[in-house]
Structure 1
Amino acid sequence: MAVAADDKGLVPFGEYQTWYRVTRPAGAGLPALVVVHGGPGSTHDYLLNLAGLADHGWPVVHYDQIGNGGSTHLPDRGADFWTVELFLAELDNLLRSLGVADDYVLFGHSWGGPLVARHAATRPAGLRGLVIADAPASYPLWLDEARRLRQALPAGVNETLTRHEQAGTTDSQEYFTAMRVFYDRHVCRVTPWPRDYLASFMEIANDPTVYLTMNGPSEFHVIGTLRDWSVVDCLADIEVPTLVLSGRHDEATPATLQPYLDRVPGARWVVFEESSHLPHLEEPERFTEVLLEFLTELKGKGAHG
């Protein structure tokens, strides 16, 4: 697998910096696959195995969104700073700075999914295709489904979670232990957790500023600024071929994905039967097959420009 980056560095983003890595194939001519991670407040690490697509001719761009990983950390900034618009501007800046804005495909995972959908709805001329992986179209839908999934957890788990959420003690070991029951069922079903996922998980713990501000203390307790955010209103404006991915046991349930399928013209959906929220780590071989099939179709439609 081609995981060695040919280029790593920092691009200026206003007075800040965005860390990136590019894995280039031996050949040239295909659009860059730009990988947009989740969180918000996570890092690229858990999506690193997508760099293997360079073995099939696709340049792959990873980056850490501002506030985490190798990019500028700003732990003293408040909710007025950490906005969707900030991360959209960062993505636009990255595409231009790396010289790929004229020919690229976007892969957005989890929070990265609605982010790339909002970007795609502006109909950028260089965008050739869109992959929305394990991602809600609406956080109110996400919260509704999270409540349903929580109620189906083993006896006592949801009660423990709720007690700590109401008491404001979500940083306790008891909350973390109960949280892991949900995560092991609906986020990552591989045990022990893969190294790349652990790396991103620890990066959030090292600087939880963005995650706590925009999301909340856990995947299923969204009390941050995203709690009412939705991209449903703009999905009909997306014009590029769009692939929607999810796991059978995903916290991104079919209900959270349905607006993409209803509103994005021609959107297709693939479900990974043995996966939850991270099918690229839970079923990596089939994941690669599905993604390559979609990318090959783009190439057949002249995605190389």
Structure 2
Amino acid sequence: MTVFAMAPDGVRIALHELGDPEGLPVLMIHGFSSNTRRNWIDSRWSASLADAGLRGIGMDLRGHGDSDRPSTGYAVERFVDDVDAVLTQLALDEPPAAIGYSMGARLLWRHAGTRPHAFRALVLGGLPAGDPFQRFDVELAHRALRGEAEPGPMESFIVELAGVFPEHDPTTLVTLAGEVSQTLFDAQQAPPAVPTLLMTGERDRRAADTETLLPLLPHGSFAPIPGRNHVNAPTSGTFRRTASAFLAQHLVSPA
């Protein structure tokens, strides 16, 4: 059953359960143009979470999945507020752990860095050291989406991703990318202080520099995802098992 958290601006954020319903809680945030079902459920994370005694709570980002899709309202601070709204909705006795992939990983880095008591441990997958939305021309991307212009490399990448899954609205996702790109990711601003595991596919050209973030993390570690690229890394059994074990360890015996 899908439940919803209400963001401060009235946008509904959809939440989905997976793993062990009686397990220790883990918030899960997918990447751009994906959703909980595509990123986590269809990739068989439920069994790995359950085996580790974890309860996954998958959050559909605004503009994605079963969450609301406003025509505007996709600034970075809105996404950070959405995480706050989800945590308020969950009303957990203790802070959960969290796992994010790509855009979801950037969101958790920002959130945990400014709210140091929100989570007990993080796994951040497919996280580039810089911002992949840099140099993104949203107006050109919209024209390309309508077949009125030839996109540049970044616009082509975003437009292609925006149309991957039929349940999403490409126009909304291009608008989202444009608003997010107005606040570029700066990893040096308030990095997370909690135990954080970075994981990136060995063939991931979009996040090949993940390990360079380690000096910013007081309790950071890195593990590669063998044989995977940016798109298929979430389907990796190594990713699922390693991430689940790491989070379970820190939820049972937090550092």
TM-score bucket of the superposed structures, by smaller chain? 0.7 to 0.9
Work out the number of aligned pairs and report it: 242
Aligned to 1:289: 241
Secondary structure at 1:233 match in 2: coil
Pick the aligned partner of 2:203 from 249, 263, 267.
249
Q: 1:294 is aligned with what amino acid?
A: F
Please state how far the C-alpha of 1:243 moved relative to its aligned partner.
Answer: 0.5
Tell me which amino acid in the other structure corresponds to 2:185. Answer: S
Is residue 105 from structure 1 mapped to residue 132 from structure 2 by the alignment?
A: no
Relative distance call for 1:279 and 1:167 in structure 2 (3 A) is closer
Q: Give distance in 1, aligned partners of 2:224 and 2:131.
A: 21
Equivalent in 7, 13, 16 of residue 11 of structure 2? 16
| Equivalences for residues 183-222 of structure 1 within 5 A | 201-204=165-168, 206-209=169-172, 211-215=173-177
> SS state of the match for residue 201, structure 1?
coil
Q: Secondary structure at the match of 2:17?
A: strand
- Determine the structure 2 residue equivalent to 1:65: 61
Number of the residue aligned with 2:70:
74
**Which stretches in structure 2 are left out of the alignment for 5+ residues?**
none
Q: Which has the higher helix share?
A: 1
Which residue identity lines up with residue 84 of structure 1 in the other structure?
V
**Kept in 2: contact 1:20–1:61 (CA 8 A):** yes
2:96–2:251 contact (8 Å) kept in structure 1: no
Deviations 1:60-80 (A, max 9, x none): 0012122232122213x2xxx
1:99 and 1:133, CA in 2 relative to 1: closer, same or farther beyond 3 A? same
TM-score between the two structures when normalised by the length of structure 1: 0.67
CA separation in 2, counterparts of 1:199 and 1:260? 31
Native 8 Å contact 1:95 1:101 kept in 2: no
SS at match of 2:144: coil
Preserved CA contact (<8 Å) 1:272 1:279: yes
**8 Å contact kept, 1:246–1:271:** yes
Distance 1:228 1:11 in 2: 24
Which string of whole-angstrom CA distances, capped at 9 and with x for unpartnered residues, describes residues 5-43 of structure 1?
A: xx4222222423111112352644x2x11111111x542
Q: SS at the partner of 1:138?
A: coil
Identity %: 23
Q: Following TM superposition, by how much is the alpha carbon of 1:45 offset from its aligned partner in structure 2, in angstroms?
A: 2.1
Query: 1:168: Cα distance to partner?
Result: 4.7
Q: Rg bigger for which structure?
A: 1
Which letter does structure 1 place at the counterpart of 2:171?
P
Q: Which amino acid aligns with 1:10?
A: F
Q: For 1:234, which of 189, 195, 200 is the aligned residue?
A: 189
Query: Paired residue for 2:31, among 32, 38, 52?
Result: 38
